[in-house]
Amino acid sequence: MIWDNFFSAAKTADARQRFLLICLQYDALGQALPNPIWWISGNPDLAGAFSDHYIQHLERLCDSEEVPSTMKGIFDLPACG
């Protein structure tokens, strides 16, 4: 699955890193963060809970037929190193 890099990175990250990972995906797409994400960024506990639920939601969407196959590659992470 194309999303493996994103989900693998999210599973090994702490709550702050998962939140930053989501923010980086918006940046990679050249999209501004939605206002609610900005608003919760000042509360680490809320940001961590949000990122957990958001990533779980993305996993469910990816496993469903709701996401067109052409969209499944948008969260690929570049290789590090």
DSSP state of 13: S
Per-residue pLDDT tens digits for 42-77:
898 899 899 999 999 888 888 776 655 555 555 554
Q: What letter represents residue 35's amino acid? A: N
From the list 22, 9, 14, the residue with the least C-alpha distance to 45 is 14
At residue 70, the pLDDT reads: 52
Q: What is the SS3 assignment for 58? A: helix
